[in-house]
Amino acid sequence: MRTIKYQLLDIIPCRNVLGEGVQWNDQDNAIWWTDIQSAKLYRYHPDSRQLSQWDAPERIGCFAFMQDDSRLLVAFASGIAWWDLQTGQYEWIARPEADVRGNRLNDGRVDRQGRFWVGGIVEVRETAEQTTGLYCLDHDLQLKRQLTGLTISNGLCWSPDSSAMFHADSPSGNIDRYPFDAATGTLGSPQVFVSTASGIEPDGACVDAEGNLWSAQWGSGSVQVYTPEGQMITRIELPVSQPTCVAFGGPGLSWLMVTSARKGLDEAQQQLQPEAGNLFIFQTNARGLPECRFRGSEKLMNI
């Protein structure tokens, strides 16, 4: 088993309240992410060190790149929409939980076949039985609910060969592994892949080229790395207690990019964690996999 090595390369001082959804865009060689609570989208060009931001019409849970960068596919708080960054215009595609008071859309990702998956969060519990779900938007913009009974859907990623999907309902402390039919997007019966310690919640995750799973773990101050069999092999310590999401990018997809949050920290805790809410970039000896882009049908792409 190869030893994973890493070194902190840079910290981007963005001071997010709830940084999330980090991705590498291989067309503009930039890092993109969102601050959910501030309803902002960020882009950072490492070569020029230029940081750009956009104000969103709603909070952004996650987003996906298209085959070109003319628009984004975005899971806003109340639904999924196209969003044109140049004009600011957006067009709703589906709003699966807009009528559920206290819920919003949260973590998501595009699978290797080009479908957009997004889960929800019970942000304000209005009823004891209130839950959220996990949804898949296929190539023809048909939305299907794949999982029910969730509280905070997180950590979506797929094995390199697309035979397995990983997903966490964060408060459970479990990352589950689902058999995955790549052709149909169908899930099999889950098994617990790993369980976190009490008080630590699995958040955003990604898989590297060797099939290792990298998990940002809220409350732990770390990113933990697991083999395809679920054995923890590396713990990357951070100077913040609430890492939120991870992705690979940069030269050879060898950078690990980690977002973080200040949400819920009192003044004393923020003084002890002055880097909370910033973006961290680590140089690793691992290699990630390219971030997938949403692929609609030919008819859709010609609209």
CATH assignment of the domain containing 17: 2.120.10.30
b/e for 4-22, b at 16 or more Cβ within 10 A? bebeebeebebbbbbbbbb
- Structural domain includes residue 79: yes
Rg (CA), the chain: 18
The pair phi, psi for residue 251, each rounded to 5°, is -60, 120
Note whether 178 and 109 are within 8 A (CB): no
- Structural domain includes residue 1: no
- Structural domain includes residue 180: yes
- Structural domain includes residue 130: yes
Q: Helix, strand or coil for residue 196?
A: coil
Reading the block at residue 214, the tokens are 């990298």
- Structural domain includes residue 251: yes
What sign has the CA pseudo-torsion 168, 172, 173, 179?
negative
Domain enclosing residue 81, as ranges: 6-301
How far is it, in rounded angstroms, from Cα 301 to Cα 303? 6
> Nearest to residue 284, comparing CAs of 1, 4, 2?
4
3-state DSSP: the chain helix, strand, coil percent, rounded to 5? Answer: 5, 50, 45
How far is it, in rounded angstroms, from Cα 135 to Cα 129? 19
Count of domains forming the chain: 1
- Structural domain includes residue 123: yes
- pLDDT by residue for the chain (303 residues), tens only, comes to 679 999 999 999 999 999 999 999 999 999 999 999 999 999 999 999 999 999 999 999 999 999 877 799 999 999 999 999 999 999 999 999 999 999 999 999 999 999 999 999 999 999 999 999 999 999 999 999 999 999 999 999 999 999 999 999 999 999 999 999 999 999 999 999 999 999 999 999 999 999 999 999 999 999 999 999 999 999 999 999 999 999 999 999 999 999 999 999 999 999 999 999 999 999 999 999 999 999 986 445 444
